[in-house]
Structures are given as C-alpha cells and as structure tokens.
Amino acid sequence: MARFSWFVPATAAVVIAGATISTFTVNTSATVRVGSPAPNFTAKTSTGQTVNLSDYKGKVVVLEWTNHECPFVVKHYSTGNMQKLQQEAKAKGVVWFSVVSSAPGQQGFVTAEQANAVVKEKKASPTAVLLDSDGTLGKLYGARTTPHMFVIDKAGQLQYMGAIDDAPSLANQDVTKANNYVRAALGQIMAGQKVTTSTTQPYGCSVKYKN
C-alpha cells in the first residue's frame, strides 16, 4: 500500500513506484536564486536526445518537476490545467521541460518508454521530459515538491521559482479560482516587465529522491 507524503507547504516522507534511466552533467557549484543565472545542465530526454540549458539562451524556459502518481500533479493534469498552461506557453515560444526526479523503486519513477506513455495518456505538451532518476538535476535546483516550477528568461536568468498557483489543495475546482503564478510570471516576462511575485512556497508531494 502506497503512503503519500505531501508538502503543504512544508514537510515530507516517502512512497512507492514504477521504473527510469537518466544521465546528467551539471555544474554542482551553482546556486539557485531569482535574478541570478539559472544553473546550467546537460540532460537526457525520454526520447533519447541530449539537451543543454545553455542552448536555449534567447528562449524563455519552464522547468516543471512532476510525478504522475502524486495526487497534486494528478489534480493539475486531470483538470487539463497543466496541459493548458503548457500549450499557452509553447504558443508564445516558451520551451517547457517536465522533469522526473523519482528514483527507482519510488513513486512516480518511469522508464523512458513509460514517460512517453504518460505524456500521451495525459495529452501533455512539454517540449521534452527530462529523466533524472539519480536526482542530480532536482538537487541542483533544490526541487522539493511535485509540482515545483521554475521560469528562466531569455537571458538565462531565473525569474520565478515556487508553486504553480496559490491553491494548495486537492480540490479540482480550485484550479479555476487560483492565481496561477507561472502564467503571471510568463506574461510579465514576455511583456518585458519585472515579475511581481518571483518566489513562493511550493506545495505538493515531496520529490521522491533516492534514499
């Protein structure tokens, strides 16, 4: 029987899972601060490609930490909320990476094939799914929950980190009433404005890193 651990807005525990593989080369000396350069990384996608964050200078990039078995992630996908946000962002030229940092044997762990199947099943629209089963990328960014969101501007500066919105509940109807921090941040960045709310407390299930 799975035991869920959430972060609403702080604390954790552990759970169970599925199966994945990931390879990362990262700058482990980097620190994550809004207004500072986002830590660079090289990552393998679920389709076997290699991506480098540095290659996307000139593009706005969103990093979404995800775990398809986490009830909070399920809320945002079952309502179509996350997919809608992904589609809106990509229509504006934003690069969207969904990151899976669940370790083998933990809740949300997926192989590349399973990750692709989840994307298809959920009708999700990320640019790519990044596999991080050893947790290197998650720990580099300090990802604590699923979801945990990061928005990087065209100059490679981190402009937002935190929750997807201000409704830390499992009630589906809350997505329509919530203030979506990521949507607001993207709108302000695209308009050349300062992000009003740049850091918030993330909520959701704890990231299922390797013990």
Gap between the Cα atoms of 76 and 174, Å rounded: 10
Count of domains forming the chain: 1
Gap between the Cα atoms of 112 and 45, Å rounded: 8
Per-residue confidence (pLDDT) for residue 104, from 0 to 100: 96
Q: Alpha carbon 152 to chain centroid distance?
A: 12
Per-residue confidence (pLDDT) for residue 7, from 0 to 100: 52
**Is the pLDDT higher at 25 or at 55?**
55
What average pLDDT does the segment 47-54 reach?
96
Q: Hey, is 139 helix, strand or coil?
A: helix
Residue 197 in domain: yes
Q: Characterize the bridge pairing of strands 61-65 and 145-146.
A: unpaired
Residue 127 in domain: yes
Residue 1 in domain: no
- The values of phi and psi at residue 32, to 5°, are -105, 115
Residue 80 in domain: yes
Residue 135 in domain: yes
Residue 1: count of CB within 10 angstroms of its CB: 3
CB distance 41 to 26 below 8 Å: yes
Look up the pTM and report it.
0.87
Q: Hey, is 97 helix, strand or coil?
A: strand
Confidence bin at 27 (pLDDT 50/70/90): very low
**For the chain, percent of residues with pLDDT exceeding 90:** 84
Q: Hey, is 41 helix, strand or coil?
A: strand
Residue 5 in domain: no
Extract the runs of DSSP E, i.e. beta strands, from 18-112.
Answer: 24-26, 41-44, 50-52, 61-65, 95-100
Q: Domain residues for 156?
A: 18-205
Whether the per-residue pLDDT at 46 is higher than 90: the answer is yes
What average pLDDT does the segment 66-70 reach?
98
Per-residue confidence (pLDDT) for residue 15, from 0 to 100: 31
Whether the per-residue pLDDT at 13 is higher than 90: the answer is no
CB distance 189 to 195 below 8 Å: yes
CB distance 7 to 97 below 8 Å: no
Residue 7 in domain: no
List all residues 6 or more positions away from 185 whose beta carbon is below 8 Å from its beta carbon.
151, 159, 160, 195, 197, 198
Confidence bin at 201 (pLDDT 50/70/90): very high
Residue 13 in domain: no
Whether the per-residue pLDDT at 160 is higher than 50: the answer is yes
Per-residue confidence (pLDDT) for residue 24, from 0 to 100: 32
Q: Characterize the bridge pairing of strands 204-206 and 145-146.
A: antiparallel
Per-residue confidence (pLDDT) for residue 31, from 0 to 100: 72
- The values of phi and psi at residue 83, to 5°, are -60, -40
pLDDT digits (tens, 9 = 90+) for 119-133: 999 999 999 999 999
CATH assignment of the domain containing 32: 3.40.30.10
Per-residue confidence (pLDDT) for residue 26, from 0 to 100: 34
